[in-house]
A = this chain, B = another copy of it.
Amino acid sequence: MSSKAADVIASALRARIENGEFASGRLPAERTLSEHYATTRITLREALGQLEAQGIIYRELRRGWFRAPPRLIYNPSHHSHFHAMALEQGRVASTQVIEAREVPAQLAIARHLQLQEGDTVYRIRRLRRIDGRAVLYVEHYLNPACFPGLLAEDLTCSLTDLYDQRYGIRYGGARFTILPGPLPPRAAPALNVASGTPGLLITRINRDQHNRVIDCDCEFWRYDALCVAVEV
């Protein structure tokens, strides 16, 4: 339960942020803010915590508080890849490969790919940034029969383009499931949040132009980084 004083400060700060104050993106230090609002550090932190939960501000370790950038609009029916989606929205995307290797498929992944548990799959772990901020930790699981030799390619690029240019494989239909849930220990540190922090988990099972299941993506998003939009 929140205190009345924290609610009032949260509203006041929210209004200032929405009116365009703190143009640099960085909020004043907690000490400055608690003096400005003539309140204790505890109450101030409660107010900041409310704004953080609403996705209005976020904290960086040892750097303080920042105004959250606009959410990326994620429309499952537009099959554009991450870099294209960011570009269309005037944002700058970048991709870092954390790991790319062959692994035995765990049961859930094997089912998604229509393989047997323990069959070899390619697993690519990548971290994706928008305007320099890590927002998405993703694990791609590929059926290696579709993509021989792929792990030797430059995997910082779009897989969509690589599939098309090297293998003549293009995306067909896809099935998305979207679940709110806690960010697991392998994803949370890369996204600069504590393990167990709420996030959005999007699983995509992708088919190619011949309707074969070719890969599956397990995406772990910062909860304040995107807005899923669906038009029907």
- Chain A residues within CB distance 8 Å of chain B: 1-2, 49-50, 53-55, 71, 76-77, 79, 173-182, 185, 194-196, 198-200, 223, 227-232
Contacts and interface: CB of A to CB of B under 8 A. Distances in A.
Contact of A185 (B2, B55, B182): B2
- Protomer copies: 2
A177 B230 CA distance: 6
B230 A230 contact: yes
A230 to B, nearest CB: 4
A174 B115 CA distance: 37
A196 B230 contact: no
Contact of A54 (B177, B182, B231): B182
A175 B227 contact: no
Contact of A177 (B2, B176, B194, B229): B229
Contact of A178 (B1, B79, B181, B227): B227
A93 to B, nearest CB: 21
A173 B54 CA distance: 28
A231 B227 CA distance: 18
Contacts of A77: 230, 232
A180 B180 contact: yes
B53 A174 contact: no
Contacts of A199: 180
B232 A196 contact: no
Q: Find the residue from A71, A173, A228 having the highest chain B CB count within 10 A.
A: A228
A50 B183 CA distance: 11
